[in-house]
Structure 1
């Protein structure tokens, strides 16, 4: 969910800036994308990363790099388009599900690969960083979703004067 959160932050961050002054933020967004991608590509290119490890951490890092490129595309497109088409939002949310699955796989693989810290240290510690980022972002969206659910206004049925949890009041 870490990559999903980065695109989310880029989209909501640029909406605070007037349209005429968004170029600086877009440049900052490109720089931040490079900061996220550079360590992953560095670890992927290291010869030590191809050593034997019981868990497929290298394959997982390759998937993370691929999703990072997709996330960078989403963040660029979301900062350029106003309004964003519904079909793009739908594909972004599908990407979020993929990012969540990848974060879950990263967490499981990292927790079961403690022996890889000796054979492939850079790869293991990159997986550890991605695991912490994934757990943090999942917590962020869990809290955000909980707040969204608690902030919903209950609807009062005028006939019985009782609260209903969702939907408009239905006339009898």
Structure 2
């Protein structure tokens, strides 16, 4: 309903503007060299998929192996999406003049993608240690492991 309401309000508020003021710039002056809009569209698709995974991962207990594998494949795709977004954004700083909203949104998404990648890269050694030496990082039964103290009140906060 939120999306419907926003579109409904935008429609009615846009009708308050005179027709000649709705789109002042000619189309040719609003051009960006990279496909930032297409990239943003794919980012939105990834957001919808992320919403589905969020619902599934929070409701399933235990999470099946197939869902875990699919989720990690989605993670690889999300990583690739972040790299593409960052590459497109870095190569076209002139889009800040022609399509500033699109460029700055891409810039924000690039920064967030880089921060998320840094966070996941930080977690990879813990995941590998847990796979190679089960219970070394966090053992819930014996309440021991390298990460037991920091996550004692939030078990398996870092792991899917």
- Tell me if TM exceeds 0.5: yes
Distance 1:116 1:86 in 2: 43
Match of 2:121 among 133, 139, 142: 142
Change (3 A) 1:82 1:149: closer
User: TM-score, normalization: structure 1?
Assistant: 0.58
Query: Helix, strand or coil for the counterpart of 1:88?
Result: helix
- How far does the alpha carbon of each residue in 1:93-143 deviate from its partner, in whole angstroms, 9 at most, with x for none? 111111000000001000001000011111101101110111001100111
Q: How many residue pairs end up in the alignment?
A: 110
The aligned counterpart of 1:88 is 67
Q: Hey, what does 1:78 align to over in structure 2? A: 57
Q: Which structure: greater helix fraction?
A: 1
Residue segments in structure 2 that go unaligned for 5+ positions in a row? 11-22, 134-160
1:99 maps to 2:98? no
Q: What 5-or-longer segments of structure 1 have no aligned partner?
A: 1-30, 154-172
> TM-score, with normalisation over the residues of structure 2?
0.62
3-state SS of the aligned residue for 2:32?
coil
Show the counterpart of 1:120.
99
Greater length-normalized contact order (CA 8 Å, ≥ 6 residues apart)? 1
For residue 81 of structure 1, report the CA deviation from its aligned partner: 1.0
- Structure 1 residue runs of 4+, over 2 Å off? 146-153
The whole-number CA distance in structure 2 between the counterparts of 1:145 and 1:97 is 13
Cα RMSD (Å): 2.6
Give 1 or 2 for the bigger CA radius of gyration: 2
